[in-house]
């Protein structure tokens, strides 16, 4: 019985994950909120050891490209970690409103 329990416990531990929201920021929300845009970027790390945060720039550029010729306002950003031992996924989600004119 105990021999079956150990592999099952290891498998269940390996398949579990945990998500934590680390920070949220919000700029002033505009009165005109009809054109919502969103961008996400993520990065995988081993044991949570990160050597670069360049993946954040991808979300910023994606958000700007969705509002070419306009101004992005009311930006909500979320930074979260999802942990699947030994891998940690870092993710940035940015949502805003494109105002042209």
Q: Is residue 7 part of a domain?
A: no
Over residues 12-18, the mean pLDDT reads: 68
> Cα separation of 25 and 23, whole Å?
7
- Domain extent for 26: 17-99
Q: Is residue 81 part of a domain?
A: yes
Query: pLDDT per residue over 20-57, tens digit each?
Result: 777 777 788 888 888 999 999 999 989 878 888 899 99
Percent residues over pLDDT 70 in the chain:
91
Q: How many domains does the chain have?
A: 1
**pLDDT confidence of residue 100:** 85
28 near 68, Cβ under 8 Å? Answer: no
> Cα separation of 70 and 96, whole Å?
12
**pLDDT confidence of residue 30:** 84
**pLDDT confidence of residue 15:** 65
Q: Is residue 9 part of a domain?
A: no
Q: Is residue 3 part of a domain?
A: no
């Amino acid at each position: 019985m105990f021999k079956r329990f150990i592999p099952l416990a290891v498998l269940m531990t390996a398949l579990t994950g945990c998500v934590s929201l680390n920070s949220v920021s919000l700029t002033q929300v505009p009165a005109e909120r009809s054109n919502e845009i969103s961008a996400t970027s993520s990065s995988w790390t081993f044991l949570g050891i990160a050597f670069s945060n360049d993946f954040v720039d991808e979300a910023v550029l994606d958000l700007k490209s969705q509002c070419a010729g306009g101004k992005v306002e009311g930006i909500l950003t979320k930074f979260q970690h999802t942990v699947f031992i030994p891998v940690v996924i870092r993710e940035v989600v940015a949502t805003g409103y494109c105002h042209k004119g």
